[in-house]
Amino acid sequence: MIIAVDGPAASGKGTIAKALARHYHLPHLDTGLLYRAVAANVARMELDPAKEADAVAACDFGALILADPVLRTDEIGQAASIVSAHPLVRAALLQRQKRFAHQAGGAVLDGRDIATVIAPDADAKLFVKATPQIRARRRHTELQTHGSTLSFDKVLTDIRARDERDSSRSAAPLVMAPDAVLIDTSFLSIEASIEKAIAIVEAHSPR
Ligand SMILES: Nc1ncnc2c1ncn2[C@@H]1O[C@H](COP(=O)(O)OP(=O)(O)O)[C@@H](O)[C@H]1O
Ligand SMILES: Nc1ccn([C@@H]2O[C@H](COP(=O)(O)OP(=O)(O)O)[C@@H](O)[C@H]2O)c(=O)n1
């Protein structure tokens, strides 16, 4: 079974995807980490994330970098959204994600284009959203627990900028697939959003 979970920054898609993977004993891939790794590599190589050739040169990163806590920072999230708009960067990361999705037994992937590009054949497609203010509050709290001193206003501004960039780009923009089911987590607890996600997958899973 392939489960696609898409949505904007800090909507709760990773939390839901991880819980679905645990529930159904499936491997999980946070595809945002791949774009974050490219962004971190661009910074390490002192290249320009806005230049497509520079970003492509940074696509060859080792598996170790994916565990680096620096990937979780707001700054890398912004840079990830810049490198991810380049079609050649998306092309460089495409097969790796398609292979993961289509491995024997299935998988859960979360990102922006899982249901539309990586696995349009997914058995269940979820689109997770929440208001920008609520997403910014959650991300602000999360960043604070990791030692960040960024203000709430800065986190909200950055989330809005990323929403705009991710939705307006021409290469695999953030859109809800026509056959996806929406979960608005704005006023749902983590437990309630996971329960809802499992109920949706149950209704769509192959028998
Ligand atoms: N329904 C929810 N209610 C409250 N907090 C949530 C909810 N879902 C996720 N969170 C918290 O919000 C933050 C961002 O969630 P995450 O799943 O990482 O989002 P995303 O993968 O969409 O960026 C995390 O700290 C997570 O624990
Ligand atoms: N499948 C994906 C996943 C992430 N991304 C990009 O990578 C950035 C970081 O993604 P992420 O999922 O780690 O970000 P959060 O939603 O966790 O804040 C996003 O802003 C997107 O620009 C993408 O383009 N396609």
Kindly report, residue by residue over 3-55, the tens digit of the pLDDT. 999 999 999 999 999 999 999 999 999 999 999 999 999 999 999 999 999 99
Q: Is the pTM of this model over 0.80?
A: yes
Kindly state the tokens that stand for 11. Answer: 């909507």
Q: Above 0.95 for ipTM, yes or no?
A: yes
Look at residue 86 and tell me if it is in a domain: yes
In a domain, 9, yes or no: yes
Cβ of 67: how many Cβ atoms within 10 Å? Answer: 9
Number of domains in the chain: 1
pLDDT band, residue 63 (cuts 50/70/90)? confident
DSSP 85-108: TSHHHHHHHHHHHHHHHTSTT-EE
Residue 151 lies in a domain: yes
Could you tell me the distance, in angstroms and rounded to a whole number, from the CA of residue 112 to the centre of ligand 2? Answer: 6
Question: Residues marked as binding for ATP?
Answer: 7-15
Whether residue 122 is contained in a domain is answered as: yes
- Nearest ligand 1 atom to the CA of 16 is 17
Q: Does a structural domain hold residue 28? A: yes
Distances (CA, A) of 124 to 15, 89, 175: 16, 26, 16
Instruction: Give the contacts of 47 (CB within 8 A, at least 6 positions apart).
Output: 54, 55, 57, 58
Please choose from 28, 29, 81 the residue to mutate so as to test ligand 2's pocket, defined by most ligand atoms within 8 A of CB. Answer: 81
Question: Which residue segment(s) compose the domain that 92 sits in?
Answer: 2-202
| CA proximity to 115, closest of 169, 172, 185 | 172
Predicted local distance difference test score (pLDDT) of residue 207: 62
Report the CATH number that the domain containing residue 74 is assigned in CATH: 3.40.50.300
Expressed in angstroms and rounded, the spacing between residue 121 Cα and the centre of ligand 1 is 26
Residue 207 lies in a domain: no
